[in-house]
């Protein structure tokens, strides 16, 4: 029989752990949950979408040898840890309720899946946010070698994209192609799991390595994320969830652009987590972004 779910910790305790908890002797290379002295392996997801025809699914797998607790918390794109209130369904457990920091014990070889959807009174409202998700265990041995959790974002039209939990890094790179008519597009979301706002510079290169444009974004602290279409205007007003891009500079050589974008934190230091989405033929998929 699977262990029943229970509340993990209250919000402030979870935030403290998520921000900067340091490893101690018991937890070795992992952080320590100061609320209950468990060892913590946490991942950050810079983009999720709930409502307005969108849902987010979170999946975790205990690929280790010991008992672990799968936990998560969602936040709006406000930069101040404002909770994103949703409904969730706890996989086979059938638990339905308001979004909250949760912990579900899962045994080796078992997985857990949670579906986040809007609360009924906000079903037509689209909200974008970020997600902390990971595992807790009584010993560091139970956390070693665990597969990262992953999320899938889908809309009612069948467009879906997945992202796997990764560790933050100061520099990232991704290659892509796009068309000026918008039939093939590329978008980024950049998350900042650090304690300070950061300035991120994006450099756009064509397939020959020629720099085509430079853009900077201020990414709020506390998990704030910003998304942008690379060909979006460089300045001006933007629809909710979409920020400035490189303008039409990327198509100065023709109607099709093939190249790469490089992201790096330039001030005041710190690390980010990006995710890239490719839009093509009415569908959406994830595109690789790698630290370098």
17: part of which helix (H) or strand (E)?
helix 11-20
Residue 1 lies in a domain: no
Q: Evaluate if residue 139 carries a pLDDT over 60.
A: yes
Same structural domain for residues 74 and 160? yes
Same structural domain for residues 46 and 183? no
Please say whether the beta carbons of 196 and 218 come within 8 A.
no
- Return the number of other C-beta atoms located less than 10 Å from residue 241's C-beta: 18
Same structural domain for residues 233 and 139? no
CATH number of domain containing 227: 2.60.290
User: Among 65-79, 110-124, 263-277, which range has the highest average pLDDT?
Assistant: 263-277
Same structural domain for residues 45 and 113? yes
- Quote the number of domains for the chain: 2
Same structural domain for residues 94 and 237? no
Q: What is the pLDDT of residue 256?
A: 95
Range of the domain at 20: 6-164
* Last residue in a domain, options 129, 164, 199: 164
37 band by pLDDT with thresholds 50, 70 and 90? confident
| β-strand partners of 173 | 262, 290
Write the pLDDT tens digit of every residue in 156-174. Answer: 888 899 999 988 999 999 9
Write the pLDDT tens digit of every residue in 142-155. Answer: 999 999 999 999 98
Write the pLDDT tens digit of every residue in 235-269. Answer: 888 776 788 999 988 898 899 999 999 999 999 98
| Lookup: tokens for 161 | 């994209």
Same structural domain for residues 53 and 145? yes
Same structural domain for residues 186 and 281? yes
Same structural domain for residues 177 and 250? yes
Q: What is the pLDDT of residue 21?
A: 41
Residues 249, 232: Cα–Cα separation, whole Å: 10
Same structural domain for residues 159 and 182? no
Same structural domain for residues 135 and 248? no
* Last residue in a domain, options 113, 140, 164: 164
Same structural domain for residues 143 and 103? yes
Contacts of 177 by beta carbon, 8 Å cutoff, 6+ apart: 184, 186, 256, 257, 258
Q: What is the pLDDT of residue 74?
A: 78
**Pick from 202, 174, 179: nearest CA to 286:** 174
CATH number of domain containing 29: 2.60.120
Percent of the chain with pLDDT over 70: 83
Q: What is the pLDDT of residue 19?
A: 39
* Last residue in a domain, options 164, 197, 229: 164
Same structural domain for residues 32 and 145? yes
């Amino acid at each position: 029989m699977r262990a029943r779910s229970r509340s993990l910790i209250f919000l402030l305790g979870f935030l403290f752990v998520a921000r900067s908890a340091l490893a101690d002797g018991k937890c070795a290379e992992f952080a320590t949950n100061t609320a209950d002295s468990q060892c913590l392996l946490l991942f950050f997801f810079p983009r999720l979408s709930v409502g307005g025809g969108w849902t987010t699914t979170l999946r975790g797998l205990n690929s280790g040898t010991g008992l672990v607790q799968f936990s998560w918390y969602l936040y709006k794109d406000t930069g101040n840890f404002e909770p994103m209130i949703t409904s969730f369904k706890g996989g086979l457990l059938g638990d339905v309720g308001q979004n909250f920091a949760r912990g579900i014990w899962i045994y080796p070889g078992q997985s857990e899946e949670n579906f986040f959807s809007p609360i009924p009174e906000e079903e037509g409202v689209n909200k974008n946010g970020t997600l902390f998700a990971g595992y807790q265990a009584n010993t560091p041995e139970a956390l070693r070698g665990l597969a990262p959790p992953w999320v899938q974002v889908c809309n009612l039209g069948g467009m879906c994209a997945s992202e796997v939990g990764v560790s933050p890094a100061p520099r990232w790179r991704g290659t892509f192609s796009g068309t000026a008519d918008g039939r093939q597009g590329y978008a980024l979301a950049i998350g900042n799991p650090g304690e300070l706002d950061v300035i991120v510079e994006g450099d756009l290169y064509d397939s020959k390595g020629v720099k085509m444009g430079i853009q900077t974004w201020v990414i709020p602290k506390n998990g704030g994320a910003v998304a942008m279409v690379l060909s979006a205007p460089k300045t001006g007003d933007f629809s909710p969830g979409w920020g400035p891009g490189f303008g039409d500079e990327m198509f100065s050589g023709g109607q099709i652009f093939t190249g790469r974008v490089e992201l790096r934190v330039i001030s005041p230091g710190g690390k980010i987590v990006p995710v890239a989405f490719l839009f093509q033929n009415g569908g959406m998929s994830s595109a690789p972004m790698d630290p370098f």
